[in-house]
Structure 1
Amino acid sequence: MPPHNEPALEGGRHRRVRSLVGYELSHEEPAVDYVDENVKLLVQEGPEAQSSVDTTKQAKSLETASAPTKILFLDGVRGLAAIFVMTQHSLEYMQDIDLGAISVDAFFVLSSFLLTMLFMKKSIRLLEKGASYRKWAFTLADYFSKRFFRVYPLFALTVIVLWMLPDGDKMQYYTLGEPEKFDLFKTLTFHSDQRHFVLWTLPVEIGYYFFIPVFVITMLKMREYWWVSLFPSYAWIMYEGLYTLRWNHQGLMLHAPTFVNGSMAAVIYVKADRWIKSNKFTFRPLHLVVIRAIESVTAMVLLSVAFKGLLFSWVHETIAPHLPGVPFVSVHLTIIIVIEMLAPSCISTTLEWNVLRYWGKISFSVYLLHGFVVYNEAIRSQPSYYDRVFARFGLILLLASVSYHAVERPSQVLAGYITRYLAKQEATRQCDNVQEGLNHERPV
């Protein structure tokens, strides 16, 4: 979402804050996730205290303003993944490689990384403040309400529209083998035999959403020994990625290593970022040379796996087992993400291209609805290759944009209202408890 024109005074800082709000509203977490930090004090403080509060707010504003340069490129990753899924299902472009399956893994990694990072930062603040069980309950309620309104409304609407279509259209647009057996209730409740076409990923992702709070609290309770979990976790992730056959329409257990990999990367990033800030560490030229070397090799290996060649043709053939199914790229992807979050380079700058970011913003609509365009006979029957290309990309862009503004955005706004309501209720409960305590202490 491009920012509006801002005043010349401190324009750069204002634009960056606005871009963060746009990112949060259109992606994994709405901007109102920060509402609990911005609630006004119920009791007016004195001048000194007010000055302290203003200073704190300014510090928070500056900290918030620096965030977009680190996270906007993830929009580009999501947009690129959505485009690759669409091209894979077109049955026309780059069919000798499986960029669609790799893109689905990218979606899994991005979801687990972002949600784990946000929930972990929130949990750290709650633990530092010694939050009550009631506060944790409100936080979890807010977390799950956001997850529900982020994915389910558009999913449900798509399923209902699909249910209303004739059987022939179900077969054409969503590749249903037996459209007469389509069950609306079972599909809406994620029944295992009703996960058609791209719908199979939704119950897998939603199932992992329930695990993230447990994962985060466990990692935080390990305190300074959190790093001990890295070795068994990554040993399991690497083994499952290299030696286990994964394919589409499989359950959460087979895709769990991909999600856990994203969550572990989020933990590493949060811990490293806090250590860098607390120690005021800056990367020296030698550090950056080593980091860029690691990142470059990782990126080349990632491209080699995705395109089945490059280094494996020019340098040495792959040493990984030759298994059919989804290529193992999640570790490569998370290494690049963490490095770009800590020390951005031209990779993140390229992925921050507005075109890719916009595709990332509407990526969920692209993912669910692209079948209605790529499998349309009026488009597939076009004799010109370029006519088909422009028609597919243009119509999918238009359809997904309408879907985003008509369904996704209002759903996220509603989630924001619920967040503010929960924050207000929690603040009211705290005030009532304080007042009750004062009444008990007041002498008769």
Structure 2
Amino acid sequence: MSTHSDFHFKFLDGIRGAAALSVVFSHSQTLYKQVLPFTTFTMIGFDAVHCFFVLSAFLLTFRALMDWEKYYENWIEQNFVEKGMLYDRILDDDELNTVTNNKKDSSLFKFLDHTAIKFWLKYFFRRIMRVYPTYAIVLLSIVFIDPIGKAYYNAIKTSNLLQHLTLQSAEFIFWSIPPEMMYYLFIPIIVIGYVGITHMGIFLSNKLYCGPNIGAWTGRILGNIIIFGVRTLIALYHDSGESLHLSGSAHYFLSGSICAIWYREIIRLGLFPSSLEEEKALVKKKQYISNENSGVCSYIINNLPSRHWVIRRFFDWTCYFIFFIILCTMPHLSSKVLGLPKNLILELYTGGSLYAFLILAGLLSRNSSFVNACSWNLFCFSGKISFSIYLLHPIGLTIVNNYATSIGVRGAVNETEDDEKVNDVLDAVMLAFVVTVVLSWCFHKVIERPIMNFTNYVTKSKFFEHKKNDKHSNLHTA
């Protein structure tokens, strides 16, 4: 895997894209009268939004954790190790990207007053700019452009616009925006707390045993227990009716953060399996070395499945199993397959963990069949414009309903056979997908992408630039 600043998997784009399209399908059934005769996947959009929560928390926590570990250890390097004080680092020299001030003397106040503040200011600025401007543009369009407002059933009006802009209210499809932006505030607490507990363990271990490893892993285990305990309590006692507030969905976000921490520790332990291409290159090198000592036993050994193949295959099968369980959390399948009540109770309590395990298993399976299926170009493309799809799909659905009168519910009225009626409605659903994706791509190119480019430009400006000396290099955050 490349450095964390280049951390990117098509698989994750595919998961995000599939979730976005699931929301479109779900709302076509429940809100826009493109109702098909089967209800098996009617509530899939609800699950998809929760999957968004987990995936967003995973990506943000992982990137912040990797960056903050490097920053924190460089601060330790300057204030403890270089001064001959007892403290061991837990990252290798080539992993460190040291940040320092030009002044020689350091203190906790300077640690908090300079680079650390800019580090998290950059994080908050990027998060706000990623979501809020496009969200605000859509809200204003709904209020002041009547055809667009009708597509959203005029849920946003001048009377409640201010409440939506200040995240005090969230009508219609916008209920997921406030809790996600609220959780952005808690990611620094999780990351700083987890890294801080780890280094506290290192410090105590050095004092007591003159070695950092016991303390480091004790701190990490304690950090995981705390986060997992909080997540479990919230999952057990949360109020699912409080969807607008973070308390109603915090366990989904925490599942993503826990998944990111576990993934980081798997990489730290060197348990991340090689991909098929990496393994082939390694096998080819070994075969070249052992060519002179070839024999029957050597041939058999070389053709046995490697541990990397076994790990990839195990997690590939695990992905399919978890995906099946996720499908069974939907009301219809929950009743038919598991014999549970026909509601979302199973998803509300276990959904976050299931999505997190699916992400983790997919990453560990590398280029397996499940990952390749999720990396389908349509899913990946939809994943890159997923936020635009989420915001604009009511417009696409309304366009199809109002103007494609030969298909959908209006077209089905003129059909005499039930099969043709179903085909007309299915045509409307498929056309709604196409219109929504095209509309979202245009919005992404014209509005969302320029905002992202502006954000990148600002975060590379002198205000966010860290001071550096000749010995140390600058820290770049993802």
Q: Tell which structure's C-alpha radius of gyration is larger.
A: 2
CA contact (8 A) 1:116 1:212 kept: yes
Cα distance in 2, alignment partners of residues 374 and 380 from structure 1: 10
Cα distance in 2, alignment partners of residues 396 and 340 from structure 1: 28
2:184 is aligned, of 161, 184, 209, to 209
Change (3 A) 1:242 1:191: closer
In the other structure, the counterpart of 2:355 is 333
- SS of equivalent residue, structure 2 residue 244: coil
The Cα offsets for residues 346-385 of structure 1, whole Å up to 9 and x where unpaired, read as 1111111111101111111110111112134414744132
Cα distance in 2, alignment partners of residues 136 and 271 from structure 1: 23
In the other structure, the counterpart of 1:188 is 165
Q: Which moved more, 1:369-378 or 1:204-213?
A: 369-378
Cα distance in 2, alignment partners of residues 252 and 265 from structure 1: 19
Structure 2 letter corresponding to 1:389: V
CA displacement at 1:302 relative to structure 2: 1.7
Cα distance in 1, alignment partners of residues 250 and 53 from structure 2: 9
2:327 is aligned, of 295, 303, 310, to 303
CA contact (8 A) 1:90 1:375 kept: no
In the other structure, the counterpart of 2:206 is none
Structure 2 letter corresponding to 1:147: R
Q: CA RMSD in A?
A: 3.5
Cα distance in 2, alignment partners of residues 273 and 156 from structure 1: 39
TM-score normalized by structure 2? 0.67
1:104 is aligned, of 39, 49, 69, to 49
Cα distance in 2, alignment partners of residues 236 and 139 from structure 1: 26
In the other structure, the counterpart of 1:88 is 26
Alignment pair present for 1:402 and 2:402: no
CA contact (8 A) 1:154 1:408 kept: yes
Structure 2 letter corresponding to 1:342: L
In the other structure, the counterpart of 2:254 is 260
Cα distance in 1, alignment partners of residues 5 and 187 from structure 2: 26
Instruction: Name stretches of at least 5 consecutive residues in structure 2 with no aligned partner.
Output: 30-34, 76-98, 101-110, 199-216, 280-305, 412-423, 473-478
Structure 2 letter corresponding to 1:418: V
Change (3 A) 1:81 1:279: closer
Task: Give the alignment of 1:234-383 within 5 angstroms.
Answer: 234-238=228-232, 240-241=234-235, 244-247=238-241, 249-276=243-270, 283-284=307-308, 287-288=311-312, 290-292=314-316, 294-306=318-330, 308-309=332-333, 313=336, 317-318=339-340, 323=345, 326=348, 328-344=350-366, 345-376=368-399, 377-379=401-403, 381=405, 382=407, 383=411
The Cα offsets for residues 30-82 of structure 1, whole Å up to 9 and x where unpaired, read as xxxxxxxxxxxxxxxxxxxxxxxxxxxxxxxx8349966x6211111111111
Structure 2 letter corresponding to 1:373: G
The Cα offsets for residues 149-206 of structure 1, whole Å up to 9 and x where unpaired, read as 111111111011111034x863x322346x66633322211123xx121222111111
TM-score normalized by structure 1? 0.72
Cα distance in 2, alignment partners of residues 266 and 294 from structure 1: 18
Cα distance in 1, alignment partners of residues 273 and 137 from structure 2: 49
Change (3 A) 1:294 1:432: closer
In the other structure, the counterpart of 1:421 is 461
Cα distance in 1, alignment partners of residues 167 and 120 from structure 2: 22
Change (3 A) 1:294 1:84: closer
In the other structure, the counterpart of 1:63 is 2
**Alignment identity in percent?**
23
The Cα offsets for residues 276-329 of structure 1, whole Å up to 9 and x where unpaired, read as 17999994555456545544432321222236438x756x53599973985742
Cα distance in 2, alignment partners of residues 303 and 208 from structure 1: 26
